[in-house]
Amino acid sequence: MGINAKTKIDELLKQYPFLEDFLITLSPKFKGLKNPIMRKTMGKVATLEMASTISGLDLNNLIASLTTEIEKHGDSAGAAAAAPREPLTDPTERQAALKGIIKDLHAGGDMAVLKQRFRDLIQGVEAPEIAKMEQELMNEGLPAEEIKRLCDVHVEIFKEALEEQDRPDPPLGHPIHTYMKENRASEKIMSDTSILMGLLGQPPTPTAFDEHRQALGELIEQLSEINIHYTRKENQLFPMLEAHHFTGPSQVMWSIHDDIRAHLKQAREAFAGSDPDQTVTALKEAIGAIRDMIYKEEHILFPTSLDMLTDSEWIKVKEGEADIGFAWVTPDKGWPDEILEDVEAPAPAPEAVLEDVAGALGLETGRMTLEQINLVLTHLPVDLTFVDENDRVAYYSEGPERIFPRSPAIIGREVRNCHPPKSVHMVNKILDAFKSGSRDTAEFWIELGGKFVYIRYFAVRDAGGHYRGCLEVSQDLTEIRKLEGQNRLLDWE
């Protein structure tokens, strides 16, 4: 019989009676097994997982010790112990087994024992099962940071099974095809970078660093374009997955993206400071993390996404990609033209849940109610005034700290009448330039009552380029001008 966390004590001792005395040597808590009544009651329901908890023994060490003891008692017993039980086929049981393995891993379980447990229990595991398991663990309270910390170890346990699955083979032009095309380009850049780092010496010498400085700088900048690849994932793919309540990738992968960005920033700063050692160290960290991410993308994220999202949703993913851009490559032509006739419904968007909000208005990039729009405008840290194409004041924001006085009486007023006669010529000059199209902005800054005030005017034009009005934005920059250095931590004390 195969030994795992769910093995019943009674079944184990029936197969291997000698283990009764052996268990007592491991912990005196097992002396109760000598009691026939205890054996017939608790022994029939108690599993090794329960026994480890009661005895205080580590589950993986307990399983390993029992397996070793069985092997000591002869080849037949050893063979029986090594023989795997029938693989689990029920989806619920498979999920429970996967979660149990990962929970034991997070509790410090032995990697080799857990990998064998995985082989014994589960065959033919696919990426969506693994992704679902991690999502359920997070839903049950396992922090995303903990998942991230052991993400590589998770992959190590499932690696053999994942590599039995084919990588995705999406049609030309599909978002996943473009992501994978970028991955191949990044692998070429990383290979070239690794070769060049080898030419710098071990450890890198200043002379070799200077000799290859130009080529190394170009490769660092090229590799840094990986940020576009990650930004597109974060803003196009992740929202669609989140609409299916699948938040694991955005919480875990996004954090790893930021780690990679930090490594590349360190590499750029060290390179600019002519520090060969730190440049190479940061680049090695970045390359290692990028290669690991490619594996996770192509063996878990992409197969899971293809399994989860509909063609309509993929069309929605593709629609916004060009706004963000692409790293190193141009998407191939093809998809979705070939399937558009089969897509009946318009592609749903994550913001579709907002459509049920009473009074929500469809904006260019979202939906908001009039109340929400007004709240946003009055919470901006600037004063806004909008003058329409007829030069009449149409709106001003009533924020908590106004810079210039405004009252409802100015609504509908001719803007020239809102300024003193001595400055009307300036108003006319700005409006004329905006209307003619010769200018789009005008700016001023003044000292007013101990404040440093920044005032900007913007020509507002519609999609056809026609003048529709002028927006005045005023901001108190007094405190902003005092800022120095960086503040990356929240300090509310």
- pLDDT, greater one: 15 or 345: 15
Which residue's entry shows tokens 């009252």?
A: 407
Q: Identify the three-state secondary structure at position 466.
A: coil
pLDDT of the residue at 159: 67
**pTM over 0.75, yes/no:** no
- Report the helix count and the strand count for the chain, using DSSP H and E: 23, 7
Whether residue 458 contacts residue 470, with contact meaning beta carbons closer than 8 Å, is answered with yes
User: Which tokens in the block code for residue 415?
Assistant: 């803007």
Which residue's entry shows tokens 């507002």?
A: 460
User: Which tokens in the block code for residue 232?
Assistant: 């597109």
Task: Indicate whether 176 pLDDT > 90.
Answer: yes
- pLDDT, greater one: 422 or 42: 422
pLDDT of the residue at 355: 54
- pLDDT, greater one: 479 or 341: 479
Exposed / middle / buried, residue 311 (Cβ in 10 Å: 0-12, 13-18, 19+): middle
- pLDDT, greater one: 148 or 475: 475
423-477 pLDDT, tens digit per residue, is: 888 999 999 999 999 999 999 999 988 899 999 999 999 999 999 999 999 999 9
275-321 pLDDT, tens digit per residue, is: 999 999 999 999 999 998 998 899 889 988 998 899 999 998 998 88
Say how many residues make up the chain: 493
Task: Indicate whether 187 pLDDT > 90.
Answer: yes
pLDDT of the residue at 79: 41
In whole angstroms, what is the distance from residue 186 CA to residue 330 CA?
14
pLDDT of the residue at 81: 42
Mean pLDDT of 29-52: 72
pLDDT of the residue at 75: 41
65-74 pLDDT, tens digit per residue, is: 888 888 776 5
pLDDT of the residue at 143: 75
pLDDT of the residue at 84: 45
User: What's the CATH fold of domain 373-481?
Assistant: Beta-Lactamase (3.30.450)
Domain 175-324, CATH among 1.20.120.520, 3.40.50.300, 3.10.310.10, 2.60.40.1180:
1.20.120.520
Whether residue 305 contacts residue 296, with contact meaning beta carbons closer than 8 Å, is answered with no
pLDDT of the residue at 1: 54
Mean pLDDT across the chain = 82
Confidence of residue 362 (pLDDT cuts 50, 70, 90): confident
- Sign of the Cα torsion 411, 414, 417, 419 reads positive
Per-domain residue ranges for the chain?
9-82, 91-163, 175-324, 373-481
* C-alpha closest to that of 221 among 305, 279, 175: 279
pLDDT of the residue at 302: 92
Q: Identify the top-confidence range among 208-217, 294-303, 401-410.
A: 208-217
Please enumerate in sequence order all residues whose Cβ is within 8 A of that of 425, keeping only pairs 6 or more positions apart, or say none: none
Which of 125-134, 298-307, 359-368, 451-460 has the least mean pLDDT?
Answer: 125-134
Whether residue 186 contacts residue 229, with contact meaning beta carbons closer than 8 Å, is answered with yes
